[in-house]
């Protein structure tokens, strides 16, 4: 994969998430559904990776595996070279707290807490003092452009603003990976674009790896790589430079 | 990897600030004030009943022990046996037996009402858990340990129980005093059993709060065992 201008330097191209022959089966009554049938995937540090695929393709399952939210039936998932299956509940919580930031389709801010408190919650779990976390939280809220709205509750914010708070929250503990599950799914076109750009900016500025599950074609133009999943298998992986032509075509249809 | 493992070993791992848990659960109560009021009313009623029975017994005992003829007359008018309870006569044995029966009936009623109260609390807390599936899942994604979630719900229920019990004690006591005032006028203040009533209030407070805690245990456990993946579900 050739380096492109504007990307963070990736001399060593460290692998941050690695899956090895990951298979996942669900038992639904007497039948067994094979959601994933042996996926090998490497996610490099600092890249912006999109996982695309229709619903039912195993996209969400793969995404949850990569995020340490689900354990494979067979195969292994390594996050930061740690085998997720080997971790106990305590270590998993630690991993989720420190190494992974989550962004959800439906924002999932805690309704009883203000924007600032939502952002600082992961820091509280990580054991920061309230002073430290407040300062850091304000910086993060400033970065996502909501510095003046820190005292607002989620219901006082628009969808796009809520998702910005969620982005700040995902970055709270300087994670290695940010997982964004359909981050634009509940947003209109314009706001969705803003969130995608925000994610891209964060990715460039802090070098955080972003993995996003999506079927939003706007996401393609900012992704370094795109993984297409279908029928529980990786259909193909496209690099950024291969994408540009397609995006021009598809983007035209989409908008 | 290296810094990950060293951090893991370093001990500065996820702390569980109790104050934060208290803050969150208090606010969850505030935001769902109406519903938690209904839950609490169950506790209030049960404890008010318990408290009124206990304080009524205490007042009557105190009046009986005063052994004043005018009070005894009033007691008899209200169908309550008088006479020295510690006497050895046949009559007093009969009285004692009847009293014992009366008290055991009361205990039975009290137990039932408390049981209903616990079931009510458990039900309400289960609803609270189901309602907040996504919130819990999100917290787990952010790195909350099971114990934090358990703490959250136990605290919430304990606050509810404590508040409800306090109100229940006041209502129960006030009602008893009012009724006793009607029957025995101000004699009750001359022989007001302060110590037994304070003891009864403290016991009620302990029982009410403890029962709220017990009622919330199963729901809190269920909440904590939830998979964080639930937070990803997009449907509301």
Give the model confidence (pLDDT) of B2-45 as tens digits.
444 434 433 444 445 677 788 888 888 887 788 788 888 889 99
Of the candidates B8, B28, B142, the beta carbon closest to that of A121 is on: B142
> How confident is the model at residue B9, as a pLDDT?
36
- Cβ of A94 within 8 Å of Cβ of B13? The answer is yes
Q: Residues with Cβ < 8 Å from A216, sequence gap 6 or more?
A: A182, A184, A185, A192, A196
Distance from CA of A92 to the nearest CA of B (A): 8
Distance from CA of A225 to the nearest CA of B (A): 23
Window 161-190 of B, Cβ < 8 Å to A: none
- Cβ of B1 within 8 Å of Cβ of A82? The answer is yes
B160: nearest Cα among B115, B212, B205, B123 = B212
A135: nearest Cα among A119, A113, A155, A111 = A119
B135 close to A111: Cβ distance less than 8 angstroms: yes
Average pLDDT score, chain B: 83
- Cβ of B1 within 8 Å of Cβ of A125? The answer is no
B42 close to B119: Cβ distance less than 8 angstroms: no
Residue A202 has pLDDT above 80, yes or no: yes
Cα separation, B106 vs B111, in Å, equals 9
Judge if ipTM > 0.85.
no
- Angle at the Cα of A94 from the Cα atoms of B150 and B232, rounded to 5 degrees: 70
Extents of the domains making up chain B: 17-232
State both tokens at B50.
């318990």
3-state secondary structure of A75: strand
Phi and psi torsions of B215, nearest 5°: -60, -30
Q: Please report which confidence band the pLDDT of residue B86 belongs to, taking 50, 70 and 90 as the band edges.
A: low
Q: Please report which confidence band the pLDDT of residue B210 belongs to, taking 50, 70 and 90 as the band edges.
A: very high
Q: Residues with Cβ < 8 Å from B116, sequence gap 6 or more?
A: B42, B46
Extents of the domains making up chain A: 46-67+89-254
pLDDT digits (tens, 9 = 90+) for A166-186: 999 999 999 999 999 889 988
Q: Is B26 on the interface with A (CB under 8 A)?
A: no
Q: Is B30 on the interface with A (CB under 8 A)?
A: yes
Residue with tokens 């540009």: A244
Window 155-194 of A, Cβ < 8 Å to B: 169, 173, 181-182, 185-186
Q: Which of A6-10, A74-78, B6-10, B229-233 has the lowest mean pLDDT?
A: B6-10
Average pLDDT score, chain A: 86
Residue A58 has pLDDT above 90, yes or no: no
State both tokens at B85.
């309870």
Report the percent of chain A where pLDDT is more than 90: 46
Residue B60 has pLDDT above 80, yes or no: yes
pLDDT digits (tens, 9 = 90+) for A110-162: 988 899 999 999 998 888 888 899 999 999 999 999 999 999 999 999 999 99
B48 close to B175: Cβ distance less than 8 angstroms: yes
> Considering only alpha carbons, which residue of chain B is nearest residue A97?
B143
> How confident is the model at residue B8, as a pLDDT?
42
3-state secondary structure of A22: strand
State both tokens at B140.
């787990």
Report the percent of chain A where pLDDT is more than 70: 90
Task: Compute the CA torsion angle B125, B126, B127, B132 (nearest 10 deg).
Answer: 90
List of chain A residues whose C-beta atoms are within 8 Å of the C-beta of residue B142: 96-97, 102, 121-122, 125, 169
Residue B81 has pLDDT above 80, yes or no: no
Burial profile A109-142: b = 16 or more Cβ within 10 angstroms, e = fewer = bbebbbbbbbbbbbbbbbbbeeeebbebbbebbe
Domain A46-67+89-254, classified CATH 3.30.1330.60, yes or no:
no
Of the candidates B30, B135, B142, the beta carbon closest to that of A125 is on: B142
B168 close to B208: Cβ distance less than 8 angstroms: yes
Of the candidates A113, A125, A182, the beta carbon closest to that of B14 is on: A125
3-state secondary structure of B9: helix
Q: For an interface test with B, which of A112, A169, A184 has the most B Cβ atoms less than 10 Å from its Cβ?
A: A112
pLDDT digits (tens, 9 = 90+) for B151-198: 989 998 999 899 999 999 999 999 999 999 888 888 888 888 899 999
């Amino acid at each position: 994969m050739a380096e492109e201008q504007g990307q963070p330097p990736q001399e060593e191209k460290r692998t941050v998430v690695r899956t090895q022959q990951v298979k996942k089966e669900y038992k639904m009554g007497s039948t067994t559904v094979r959601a994933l049938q042996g996926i090998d995937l490497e996610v490099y540090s600092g890249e912006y990776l999109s996982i695309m695929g229709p619903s039912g393709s195993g996209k969400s399952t793969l995404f949850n595996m990569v995020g340490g939210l689900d354990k494979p039936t067979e195969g292994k998932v390594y996050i930061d070279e740690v085998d997720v299956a080997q971790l106990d509940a305590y270590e998993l919580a630690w991993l989720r707290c420190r190494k992974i930031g989550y962004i959800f389709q439906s924002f999932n801010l805690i309704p009883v807490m203000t924007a600032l408190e939502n952002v600082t919650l992961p820091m509280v779990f990580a054991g920061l003092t309230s002073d430290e976390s407040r300062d850091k939280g304000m910086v993060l809220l400033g970065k996502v452009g909501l510095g003046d709205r820190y005292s607002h509750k989620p219901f006082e914010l628009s969808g796009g603003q809520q998702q910005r708070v969620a982005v700040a929250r995902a970055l709270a503990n300087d994670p290695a990976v940010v997982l964004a599950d359909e981050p634009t799914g509940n947003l209109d076109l314009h706001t969705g674009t803003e969130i995608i750009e925000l994610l891209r900016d964060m990715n460039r500025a802090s070098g955080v790896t972003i993995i996003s599950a999506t079927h939003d074609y706007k996401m393609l133009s900012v992704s370094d790589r795109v993984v297409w999943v279908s029928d529980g298998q990786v259909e193909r992986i496209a690099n950024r430079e291969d994408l540009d032509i397609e995006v021009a075509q598809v983007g035209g249809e989409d908008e | 990897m290296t810094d990950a493992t060293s951090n893991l070993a370093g001990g500065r791992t996820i702390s569980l600030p109790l104050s934060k848990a208290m803050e969150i659960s208090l606010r969850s109560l505030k935001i769902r004030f109406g519903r938690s009021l209904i839950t609490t009313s169950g506790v209030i009623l049960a404890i008010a009943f318990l408290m009124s029975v206990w304080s009524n017994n205490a007042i009557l005992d105190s009046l009986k022990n005063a052994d004043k003829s005018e009070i005894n007359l009033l007691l008899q008018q209200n169908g309550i046996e008088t006479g020295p309870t510690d006497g050895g006569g046949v009559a007093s044995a009969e009285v004692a037996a009847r009293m014992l029966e009366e008290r055991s009936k009361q205990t039975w009623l009290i137990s039932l009402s408390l049981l209903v109260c616990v079931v009510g609390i458990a039900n309400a807390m289960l609803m609270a858990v189901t309602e907040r599936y996504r919130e819990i899942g999100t917290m787990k994604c952010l790195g909350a340990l099971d114990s934090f979630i358990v703490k959250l719900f136990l605290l919430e229920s304990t606050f509810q129980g404590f508040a409800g019990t306090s109100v229940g004690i006041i209502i129960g006591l006030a009602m008893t005093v009012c009724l006793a005032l009607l029957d025995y006028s101000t004699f009750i203040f001359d022989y007001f059993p302060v110590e037994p009533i304070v003891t009864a209030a403290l016991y009620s407070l302990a029982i009410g709060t403890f029962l709220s805690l017990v009622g919330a245990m199963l729901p809190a456990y269920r909440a904590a065992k939830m998979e964080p993946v639930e937070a990803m579900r997009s449907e509301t």
